[in-house]
Structure 1
Amino acid sequence: MTRKVSNFSDLIQRVTASCLLHPLATAAAKEDDNSPYESEEEVENDEEYEEEENEEYEEEERMLGPLKAFKVKQMEVLMEEVFDTVSSMKRAYVRLQEAHSPWDPERMRAADVAVVAELRKLAVLRERFRRSGGGGGRKKGRRRGGGGRDGVASVREVVAPYEAVVEELKKEVKVKDLEVKNLREKLDSAVALTTNGSAEKKPGRSLSKRKLGIQAMAAVPTPELFEATMMQVRESSKSFTSLLLSLMHNAHWDITAAVRSIEAATASTDKFHNTSSTTSIVSAYHAKYALESYISRKIFQGFDHETFYMDGSLSSLLNPDQFRRDCFTQYRDMKSMDPTELLGILPTCHFGKFCSKKYLAIVHPKMEESLFGNLEQHSHVQAGNHPRSEFYNEFLGVAKTVWLLHLLAFSLNPAPSQFEASRGAEFHPQYMDSVVKFSGGRVPAGQVVGFPVSPGFKLGNGSVIKARVYLIART
């Protein structure tokens, strides 16, 4: 049984004995003179050296005593200033928080200036502390080799509060730039409308000019704006499809089997497709079109209803003029918003419910578990939340463009009519675009629709947004 330590001297004896009996200590002693003990002469020399060292230390203490007392007093004053500054900064920060609710920009700006001022004071006090020798034993070494680094660090600490203020000013400038941009859009739109009005009276001038810029169209709903938004829908859909396909490849999916499943779901008759067949009409290189067709069919489902059938609202029938104005107001408010930020503030708004519904329709639980190894994102969406992942963020890009297109569709009078090429239908170049490019740029004879990729629209001004289709040979 190990003996317990009874007092401090007992502890010292035990530590000394342990050091003497340690193998390393014994080995070192043997290397020196093959003896574990010092000679009497060495002991006497050590005692004399300790006495001389003690005398020098006492003399140094007598000489430096007043200086140390002064430094201690100086340090106490410095610490008092530090505590006062921290307290002032805390009070300023509390005032800054209070200015947020209720929102008071003037109080917020004043409190922000106060917080920054106290941070500057702290930076100055820290610099005083370092110059007074508060840096400890490392300061001397740094003067020789690393003084430059200390200087750079101090400058950065002093400049940091100013940089924070500059960043805030930059944000304010961006907000002002957006306001100016919106005003310019309205001005350009007014000029464009005036120009079109005068051109309409002149013979031989076409009213439906498609070269109008998006900025000039943003103040009023126009068929041209609807066409431009549909182009954005297609681009975002292609981007999301590419990401999903790459995840499937990484998860070692059988892409051919997945394509066959999509073909079976889109087939309306057995004329051109047998669901029990082991072959596919889509080549491996064109699998992205089948996947894009699946995504488009899911996300456009319910497009003809004012709320995608999320509720039984009939506002578009009861008060159509006001409903059209409201839809276009929502479009203008939302087009420049980041969907992630919007859903972070209002996760259960109409757009948030739309995103949740469409994500759960497109990404099956088994699909998500296979791609990511868990159902974390699925659980978040089912609970009414919106994950901040790269995959979900890419999905929000598609959802936002479709939502904007839907708002525009219900802003126009008359509203665009949606159509989709049916499977096995003849190819009509005035209503369809082939996603697969043929040699010579022309579709050869005998081609029919293998499956639709994205819908088309007929607009009120007579123009047509062509449906995109995947073509196959009739035979």
Structure 2
Amino acid sequence: MEPPRVAPQTDFGSVARRITKIIRLRRSAASSVAANGYDDYDATRKLKLPSEHGDFSAAFKPQDEELRKKDASRRDREAAVESLIANLFASVSAIKAAYAQLQVAQSPYDPDSIQAADGAVVSELRRVSELKQAYFKNQFDALTSSISQPALAAQLEELRNLIKTYKITTHKLETELELKNSEIRALQDEFLESDKKTRALEAKLHPRCSLVALDALHLSGLNPTHFLTALRYAYKSIRSFVSLMAREMESAGWDIDAAAAAIQPDLLRLKKTDHRSLAFESYVCLRVFSDFQHKSFGLPVLDGCSAWDRRKFFDEFTRLRSIPINQSADGEQSPVAQFCKAKYLSLVHPKMESSFFGGLHQRAMVSTDRGFPESEFFIGFAEMARRVWLLHCLFFAFEPEIERSIFQIRRGSRFSQVYMETVTSAEAEGSRSGEVVGFTVVPGFRVGRSVIQCKVYLIPSEPKADGRS
């Protein structure tokens, strides 16, 4: 059996020493704090925050003052830069105005203005250089600088310089415009003189196909010879238009012989292919001279012409004698323009126009009064219509009591040299005894006692049933 354990004896002496040591340490720490006059309570009590907002602002007042100074400095710098730029633009605009004045003073030459403008340019360039130097040296102050002005004043100066430049430029352009107008008038006079000479030469080369002989015509001196001259002038344009129409037919792939035979079957029967243009001339004359004996051509749009007297018709002839239709006084609403449009719609069939141009745009333009087509075909037609209108005006410019009429010859009529003129050359004069009128190419006219022969196409007369010719 194991003997009972005996509890170890506690060393109270060592324990007491440890406790005494701890107490000493605490006392020494407390005495050192007391010696410095500081303890935790006093530190907490002495740390007091300001109770009012005013005291808080006062604590940060030096920092706010610094920010305000920086902001004011930045604003001053921006104002200085703005003033510098405004002054720079004002100087540039002043240079532009002075340079514009310098250019104007060159022609006509003005030495005083040139010297003044040159001095202004040099002065403004010097000012720009001074602004540049002040900016680089950071010595620019719009309030104290002698080379600059406030931004608003500089902007106003820039606007004044721009207005001055515009005025100088406007004056220069007006001067150039006047010079161009003078050149245009001189060229117009030269053109009229050249045109007069050209028409004089044309009259010498083709005395029957020009109206130059009627330039000095007066109403009191009007006679049938003048009318004959105008008729030949109109007939020339008819032949030109027929040639143009035949060319369009060939381009469109038409059978020219069949088209001519459809108008005048005698050409197909006689196999006169070289006379096919005469069939087209007869067709065109039939259309454009229809109702020629009426003042209004029988057209409702020309009813106003029914009240014209001989003086009005003669004035119309004189006015339109040498100008195209589109340059007449009333433009597209003038009587000659209305006549041209009505005759175009009558003569040119829609199928013909569609075949020539692939559509009816020219017809639509004419019928809706949207202007005149600019095609060669319509221009040729318009010139023909103008000349026929001139002939019409001259026809009614004669005295009312003078007998006037237009006539054509019926088919099968015997040829008469008094009233007819053949369009083909006969091989022998006596061969005409066996020929009769096949169709009228150009109608004839009677003016007073004068008869202007109509142009006819002759064909062999058909034998009678009993064998007599």
1:473 and 1:402 map into 2 onto residues whose CA distance is 32
C-alpha displacement of 1:116: 5.3
Structure 2 counterpart of 1:214:
214
Structure 1 counterpart of 2:263:
262
C-alpha displacement of 1:169: 2.4
Q: 1:87 aligns with which of 166, 185, 188?
A: 166
Q: 1:376 aligns with which of 361, 373, 395?
A: 361
Q: Which amino acid aligns with 1:365?
A: P
- Structure 1 residues 282, 354: CA separation in 2 closer, same or farther (over 3 Å shift)? farther
- Correspondences of 1:182-221 after superposition (within 5 Å): 213-220=213-220, 221=222
1:352 and 1:250 map into 2 onto residues whose CA distance is 28
Q: Which amino acid aligns with 2:417?
A: P
Structure 2 counterpart of 1:144:
none
Structure 1 counterpart of 2:285:
296
2:213 and 2:383 map into 1 onto residues whose CA distance is 22
2:337 corresponds to 1:359? no
Contact 1:449–1:470, Cα closer than 8 Å, also in 2: yes
Structure 2 counterpart of 1:466:
453
Give the secondary structure class of the aligned counterpart of 1:347.
helix
Q: 1:411 aligns with which of 370, 394, 397?
A: 397
Q: Which amino acid aligns with 2:224?
A: P
Structure 2 counterpart of 1:434:
422
Structure 2 counterpart of 1:117:
175
For structure 2, the 5+ residue unaligned runs are 1-88, 101-161, 197-211, 463-469
- Structure 1 residues 442, 242: CA separation in 2 closer, same or farther (over 3 Å shift)? farther
C-alpha displacement of 1:118: 5.8
C-alpha displacement of 1:374: 1.9
- Structure 1 residues 314, 169: CA separation in 2 closer, same or farther (over 3 Å shift)? closer
Contact 1:409–1:415, Cα closer than 8 Å, also in 2: no
C-alpha displacement of 1:263: 2.1
C-alpha displacement of 1:86: 7.4
- Correspondences of 1:50-129 after superposition (within 5 Å): 79-80=96-97, 81=99, 87-88=166-167, 91=170, 115=173, 117=175
Structure 2 counterpart of 1:31:
none
Contact 1:85–1:118, Cα closer than 8 Å, also in 2: no
- Structure 1 residues 350, 167: CA separation in 2 closer, same or farther (over 3 Å shift)? closer
Contact 1:259–1:287, Cα closer than 8 Å, also in 2: yes
Contact 1:248–1:255, Cα closer than 8 Å, also in 2: yes
2:430 and 2:239 map into 1 onto residues whose CA distance is 23
2:184 corresponds to 1:167? yes
- Structure 1 residues 85, 118: CA separation in 2 closer, same or farther (over 3 Å shift)? farther
2:413 corresponds to 1:334? no
Q: State the percentage of identical aligned residues.
A: 30
2:194 and 2:256 map into 1 onto residues whose CA distance is 47
Contact 1:330–1:407, Cα closer than 8 Å, also in 2: yes
- Structure 1 residues 279, 117: CA separation in 2 closer, same or farther (over 3 Å shift)? closer
2:164 and 2:288 map into 1 onto residues whose CA distance is 57
Give the secondary structure class of the aligned counterpart of 2:254.
coil
TM-score by length of 1: 0.55
Q: 1:307 aligns with which of 296, 302, 316?
A: 296
Q: Which amino acid aligns with 2:166?
A: S
Q: Which amino acid aligns with 1:295?
A: V
Contact 1:299–1:399, Cα closer than 8 Å, also in 2: yes
2:173 and 2:188 map into 1 onto residues whose CA distance is 18
Contact 1:340–1:396, Cα closer than 8 Å, also in 2: no
2:305 and 2:327 map into 1 onto residues whose CA distance is 28
- Structure 1 residues 118, 342: CA separation in 2 closer, same or farther (over 3 Å shift)? closer
- Correspondences of 1:220-259 after superposition (within 5 Å): 220=220, 221-259=222-260
2:193 and 2:258 map into 1 onto residues whose CA distance is 53
Alpha-carbon displacement from aligned partner over 1:190-235 (angstroms, at most 9, x marks no partner):
xxxxxxxxxxxxxxxxxxxxxx943453444321111110111111
Once structures 1 and 2 are overlaid, which stretch shifts more, 440-449 or 358-367? 440-449
C-alpha displacement of 1:162: 6.1
2:349 and 2:181 map into 1 onto residues whose CA distance is 45
Give the secondary structure class of the aligned counterpart of 1:445.
helix
1:473 and 1:420 map into 2 onto residues whose CA distance is 19
Contact 2:410–2:439, Cα closer than 8 Å, also in 1: yes
Contact 2:296–2:305, Cα closer than 8 Å, also in 1: no
CA RMSD of aligned residues (A): 3.5
- Structure 1 residues 363, 313: CA separation in 2 closer, same or farther (over 3 Å shift)? closer
- Structure 1 residues 428, 117: CA separation in 2 closer, same or farther (over 3 Å shift)? same
Give the secondary structure class of the aligned counterpart of 1:303.
coil
C-alpha displacement of 1:422: 1.0
Structure 2 counterpart of 1:105:
none
Q: Which amino acid aligns with 2:366?
A: V
Contact 1:281–1:450, Cα closer than 8 Å, also in 2: no
Q: 1:447 aligns with which of 435, 447, 466?
A: 435
Q: 1:348 aligns with which of 288, 312, 333?
A: 333
2:309 and 2:324 map into 1 onto residues whose CA distance is 24
1:89 and 1:79 map into 2 onto residues whose CA distance is 11
2:384 corresponds to 1:398? yes
C-alpha displacement of 1:281: 3.9
Give the secondary structure class of the aligned counterpart of 2:353.
helix
2:460 and 2:411 map into 1 onto residues whose CA distance is 12
